[in-house]
């Protein structure tokens, strides 16, 4: 009697487990398939010059907006200066000298506001991560903070 009970416990447990397992497996598979297709769809449309984020085009003009650059410098001192120098020297992240010549304005705006997504996807951001090994933190910049920072970077690169 006892043996029979033990047997049926194992049997029943086995069946229940396998039922559940297959249930979860199929759900997970669906999810995996979904994300893969999402990736496939995303890959061809990814624009490495623009990056990914809310900024499509950023028209900066030829001259500097000194008000915006001033506001950007304030944000830099609180949220960025801990890791980025204004020279070409790498601290935690790369120095900012020349950054506006290496990247399009919209790429910069997207990267500093949508950091995690771009670190996961953008070839240039990923190459930089391999050098620095610290994922740039999302510093939760408001749109105007990001625009100010871009202007401050331009000023740092000699735009007048």
Which of 145, 8, 134 has the alpha carbon at shortest distance from 74? 145
Residue closer to other proteins (CB basis): 128 or 139: 139
Q: What is the closest distance, in whole angstroms, from the C-beta atom of residue 145 to other proteins in the complex?
A: 10
- Choose which of 35, 66, 67, 138 interacts with other proteins (CB under 8 A): 138
- Choose which of 64, 83, 117, 119 interacts with other proteins (CB under 8 A): 83
Q: Give CA–CA dist 142/138, Å, rounded.
A: 11
Residues in 23-82 that interact with other proteins by CB under 8 A: 24, 77-79, 81-82
- Choose which of 34, 47, 67, 137 interacts with other proteins (CB under 8 A): 137
> For 63, what's the count of Cα atoms within 13 Å in the CB-facing half-sphere?
3
Q: Give CA–CA dist 22/137, Å, rounded.
A: 39
Question: Binding marks (x or -) toward other proteins, 85..104, rule CB under 8 A?
Answer: ------xx------------
Q: What is the closest distance, in whole angstroms, from the C-beta atom of residue 153 to other proteins in the complex?
A: 17
Which of 55, 144, 145 has the alpha carbon at shortest distance from 103? 55
The angle, 0 to 180 degrees and rounded to 10, between the axes of the packed helices 66-75 and 143-156 is 100
Site membership for other proteins, residue 135 (CB under 8 A): yes
Q: Give CA–CA dist 101/61, Å, rounded.
A: 14
List residues near other proteins by CB under 8 A.
2, 5, 8-9, 11-13, 15-16, 19-20, 24, 77-79, 81-83, 91-92, 133-135, 137-141
């Amino acid at each position: 009697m006892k043996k029979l009970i033990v047997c049926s416990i194992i049997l029943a447990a086995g069946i229940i487990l396998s039922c559940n397992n297959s249930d979860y497996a199929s759900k997970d598979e669906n999810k995996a398939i979904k994300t893969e297709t999402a990736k496939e769809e995303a890959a061809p449309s990814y624009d490495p010059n623009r990056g990914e984020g809310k900024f499509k085009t950023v028209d900066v003009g030829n001259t500097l907006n000194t008000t915006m650059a001033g506001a950007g410098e304030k944000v830099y001192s609180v949220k960025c200066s801990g890791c980025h120098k204004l020279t070409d020297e790498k601290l935690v992240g790369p120095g900012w000298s020349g950054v506006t010549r290496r990247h399009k304005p919209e790429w910069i705006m997207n990267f500093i506001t949508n950091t995690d997504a771009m670190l996961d996807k953008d070839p240039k951001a990923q190459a930089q991560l391999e050098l620095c090994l610290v994922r740039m933190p999302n510093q939760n910049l408001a749109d105007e903070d990001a625009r100010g920072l871009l202007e401050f970077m331009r000023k740092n690169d000699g735009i007048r």
